[in-house]
Amino acid sequence: MPEAVRRVFDDLLNIEVNTMVKSGMTGRKMPTFGHALLDIHGSYERWLNTYCTRLNKHWSGFRTSEDAAAFVVETTAAGEHDRWWVIEAGALIDRVTITAPFQGEANGVDLFEGMRRRARIAEEMHRLLEGRSGFDVQDGGDIMLKRIIRNCDQLKAILQRAATGDAAVLTRATASGVEAADIDDLPRDDLITVRKAWEMGTEVIALQTVVQIDGDIVTRLNSAYAADRHQPVRDLHRESVGSALEHWHFLVDTVVSIAKSAVGIFT
């Protein structure tokens, strides 16, 4: 099977259908590589600043509690204090930093590394505060933090591969949004990763269905959308899955037909 056909067929081994909830939409398509990365960083930054502003208020109260003191003592005694992002110099850190909006230009890897660090600290704060009196856990907050951490790791790796000698600098001042990077030679998988991160942003996934070519189907329902009033969202998802399956079958049949024809030509 020709390489190009094989790669397309590999992409058809499964489909994923996500139904997401968003307060407003611009309807624009994804911009160029660098500007897409800056959009992703901006959406993560806004969400993280909003979440951490509230998180810091609860953390401030927790730091002076007996639970916090006991946690630091136990962690230090076990020799595990260096494994926690929220412990510095034998005490809990004061807060997660609230950052100013991005301006000018910056090393792309450093930009997403800083974002990842803040999200990682917030994740540990969330874990320590969850279930304790006085902290009203935000539904899905920990899940969104995990999304940000995972995607920052992937985007850092993409920028490192794209850099040509110097670090890839992200900026709003150029048409591509990035300098010192060979964006024309980015692997297709990297572009798909950026596109998915850009499209999802910090939106809430209400339902997700994954269909494997062997027939396995997994559907996940966000518990916040299980009530009767959200039936229209579930209906929309069911229709989307049906449309995706029809399109998927058409693509699989087309690829199989092309592969058979190619085999006939080369035999």
Q: What is the pLDDT of residues 160-170, one digit of tens each?
A: 888 766 788 99
Where residue 144 falls among pLDDT bands split at 50, 70, 90?
very high
pLDDT tier at 14, thresholds 50, 70, 90 = confident
Q: Kindly give, in sequence order, each residue whose CB lies less than 8 Å from that of residue 200, ignoring residues fewer than 6 positions away.
A: 18, 20, 147
- β partners of residue 208: 18, 220
Average pLDDT of span 158-186? 82
- Segment 68-90 shows an average pLDDT of 90
Check whether 240 has a pLDDT greater than 80.
yes
The pLDDT of residue 53? 93
6: amino acid identity, one letter: R
| Between residues 134 and 109, the one the model is more confident about | 109
Q: Which domains does the chain have, with CATH numbers?
A: 1-22+203-267 (3.30.1310), 26-202 (no CATH)
Cα dihedral across residues 220, 17, 258, 263: positive or negative:
negative
pLDDT for the residue 118 = 97
CA distances from 219 to 17, 148, 204, 207, 234 (A): 9, 23, 16, 7, 11
At 112 the pLDDT is: 96
Average pLDDT of the segment spanning 233-249: 88
Q: Which residue has the higher pLDDT, 5 or 241?
A: 241
Q: What is the pLDDT of residue 10?
A: 57
Using pLDDT thresholds of 50, 70 and 90, give the confidence band for residue 28. confident
Q: What is the mean pLDDT of residues 222-234?
A: 90
Rounded Cα distance between 58 and 71, Å, is: 16
The mean-pLDDT minimum among 22-26, 43-47, 115-119 falls in 22-26
d(CA 169, CA 163): 9
* Average per-residue pLDDT for the chain: 85
Q: Can you give the pLDDT at residue 21? A: 83
pLDDT given for residue 188 in this prediction? 83
Question: Bridge partners of 221?
Answer: 207
Spatial contact of 205 and 20, defined as CB atoms under 8 Å apart = yes
Strands 217-221 and 204-212: antiparallel
Given pLDDT bands bounded at 50, 70 and 90, which one contains residue 111?
very high
The residue with greater pLDDT, 32 or 133, is 32
* Cβ count within 10 A of residue 127: 13
Cβ atoms 140, 220 nearer than 8 A: no
pLDDT tens per residue, range 89-102: 889 999 999 999 88
Cα 191 to chain center, whole Å? 14
> What distances in angstroms separate CA 17 from CA 12, 42, 156, one per listed residue?
13, 25, 26
Quick one: tokens of 97? 């930093």
Phi, psi of 137 (to 5 degrees): -65, 130
pLDDT of res. 46:
95
Residue 228, pLDDT > 60, answer yes
